[in-house]
Structure 1
Amino acid sequence: MNWRRKKIRKTTEEPQRLFMENGTILLEELVKCCNGKTNPITTYSSDQILEATNNFNQSNLVGKDDCDYHYYRGTLDDDDHRLVVVKKKAYGRRSSARKICRDISVSSMVSGHKNFLKLLGCCLEFTCPVLVCEYAESITVNAHHQIDPTLTWNTRIKIARDISNSLAYLHTAFSTTFIHRNVHPRNVFLDVKGVAKLGDFRNCVTIPQGESFVREYKLEGTYGYLDPNYMSKGMITENVDVYSFGMFMLVLLSRRTPGLDDELHPDFLIRLVEDGRFAEVLDPVLLENIGDFAEAELCRMEAFFILSLRCIGLRGQVPEMMEVSKELKRIERS
């Protein structure tokens, strides 16, 4: 009987202990990233999360990434019965808690901007904290994180413009510059209104005011999307995000996978430009669906392509994200 009482006490005390430990880490990250100045963060109990996701039932699993993070569809038991996405580390290790708390911290800071995945709250009562976000779906469709082939050309341009807006905001809206460090299709989501949103700030770093870079020798990000300067020297600048975004643009244009498809290797892209064969990089589905406006749409695609090459340093000076955003807006309206 005494053993049973101790076991029950231990079970009830565990969420409290995890809440305190994770809460301490979260507070440290809030101070570090945002000087503690963020929007209020709603906290949910582990029971509420388990109820919302039906105990993380596989039927509610709507996505996963290469770092064992799983995304579950859930319904909150509140007045609105809101549909949400619950982001959980599949294999909880305490060492992951700090990165997840950074994700929560930065997400809470940018949630008022329409082009970021809105954080609704978090749960600190699991081994690794869990994020609760507005419901939106990934633009990728398979294990290689290829983008959905049904996305139209106009939708792809809009996605690029929306995400360029979010990166420009990270780079310019605060006293310190925030670098996302992992711009990748799996971290881009579409809501029911077709608005693209950037998520996942685990690898986000800040560049102090008055500085142009920080140095970090442990590489973070995704192979094929990494700025060569960052890879060789460990220098984190705004160009880290600009390069990744340029590769993301090429993925939107081609539906190919950087690092796996030779057609997206810089040497191959340079030859395409020199030979005037840019159409070889295009997703065949796009070419099939441009219809009666083929010439005008090919001009827009070429402008999109050239801008992506500028972002990855193959066409003149690398632009800042604000300039990229303005140029995408022009391409979208042309």
Structure 2
Amino acid sequence: MRWSWFMPYHIFIKRIEERKERERAFYENGSLLLEKLIVCCNAKPIPIRTFSPQQLLLATNNFSSGLLGYYWGIWYKGSLEGRIVLIKHLYGWADLAINDLVISAQMSGHSNVLKPIGCCLHTPFPISVFEYAANGFLADRIYVSRVTERQHQPMVWERRLKIARQIAHALSYLHTAFPRPVLHMSIHMRSILLDERDVPKLSDFYFSVSIPEGEADVEAHRGFYFNAPEFTASRKVTEKFDVYCFGQLLVHLRICYKNIVDITFL
């Protein structure tokens, strides 16, 4: 910040306070991010770029344009450094935003996971930047979008099966590729995005937890959408929790397809 003798004193004080608030947010969010990276990634370096609030405001026209959808986080389409990206703003839950970012980065080697590009830590709640998924949420290809209020062309059954198979591969990778199995805990139609070729990208790792080494299950404090019976009864979950949620996803894909076929033949 540059001092000017023509700047009113109250504006100068306000800018000082805003700078201190940004610095406080950066240290708090940065500490959460570093702690999570050490726990989940065994201190292995994972490249996560940082962006300034000004860059993200410019990319989204002050978060007033390019709204893609919302479900917990609010998704915006933006242009950042000449590249189309998705920007996700999760209000009120810094720890969930950090968890989502770290697990996404840990999973970024899989082709069916939405890859993180970076984040902004200078805001009260971290804002994440992800690769662009041109065809939006799977839910909006199946149902009428609550944001755009329009229905895409019905998705054929073969494509639905292919999406289900690829998401199953991503879940298998999540459960087996790391020393401690990771549970997604929130698989549903709006946690899957589609790129321009309808390749599915798993996202929303807010509630993900790892099973400790030597343990068969883990106590989870959060679960959402399709909750398996054992979670409601004991809060103890295993990989079977995700399998249950995936099964519910298959049921919805099948029911929606059956309804479309029935309507077609009426």
Asked whether the two chains share a fold, i.e. TM above 0.5, the reply is: yes
Equivalence for 1:82 = 83
**Residues of 1 paired with 2:38 and 2:245: CA distance?**
28
- Please tell me the residue identity of whatever aligns with 2:68: V
Alignment equivalent of 1:159, drawn from 158, 163, 167: 163
Equivalence for 1:306 = none
Equivalence for 1:180 = 184
Q: SS at 1:240's partner residue?
A: helix
Aligned residues: 249
Q: SS at 1:140's partner residue?
A: helix
Q: CA deviation at 1:231?
A: 1.3
Identity over aligned pairs, percent: 37
- Please tell me the residue identity of whatever aligns with 1:240: F
Q: CA deviation at 1:143?
A: 4.4
Equivalence for 1:24 = 31
TM-score by length of 2: 0.88
Q: CA deviation at 1:193?
A: 2.0
Q: CA deviation at 1:229?
A: 1.3
Q: SS at 2:55's partner residue?
A: helix
- Please tell me the residue identity of whatever aligns with 1:201: F
RMSD of aligned Cα (Å) = 2.0
- Please tell me the residue identity of whatever aligns with 2:129: V
**Residues of 1 paired with 2:105 and 2:260: CA distance?**
38
C-alpha spacing 1:35/1:253, structure 2 compared with 1 (3 Å): same
Alignment equivalent of 2:50, drawn from 40, 43, 48: 43
> CA deviation digits over 1:277-333, x for unaligned, max 9?
xxxxx523246779xxxxxxxxxxxxxxxxxxxxxxxxxxxxxxxxxxxxxxxxxxx
**Residues of 2 paired with 1:214 and 1:148: CA distance?**
40
TM-score by length of 1: 0.70
**Residues of 2 paired with 1:287 and 1:32: CA distance?**
50
C-alpha spacing 1:166/1:140, structure 2 compared with 1 (3 Å): same
1:105 aligns with 2:105: no
Q: CA deviation at 1:133?
A: 0.4
Q: CA deviation at 1:5?
A: 2.0
Conserved? CA contact 2:193–2:200, under 8 Å:
yes
> CA deviation digits over 1:67-126, x for unaligned, max 9?
3x21000001x2xx111110002xx33xx1111111111111111211000101111111
- Please tell me the residue identity of whatever aligns with 1:120: I
Alignment equivalent of 2:70, drawn from 21, 43, 64: 64
- Please tell me the residue identity of whatever aligns with 2:246: F
Q: SS at 1:220's partner residue?
A: coil
Conserved? CA contact 2:86–2:132, under 8 Å:
yes
Q: CA deviation at 1:180?
A: 0.4
Conserved? CA contact 1:219–1:231, under 8 Å:
no
Equivalence for 1:251 = 252
- Structure 1's unaligned 5+ residue stretches are 256-281, 291-334
Q: CA deviation at 1:139?
A: 1.1
Conserved? CA contact 1:153–1:286, under 8 Å:
no
**Residues of 2 paired with 1:219 and 1:6: CA distance?**
41
**Residues of 2 paired with 1:245 and 1:123: CA distance?**
32
Equivalence for 1:221 = 224
- Structure 2's unaligned 5+ residue stretches are 1-7
Alignment equivalent of 2:174, drawn from 161, 170, 175: 170
**Residues of 2 paired with 1:220 and 1:19: CA distance?**
28
- Please tell me the residue identity of whatever aligns with 2:111: K
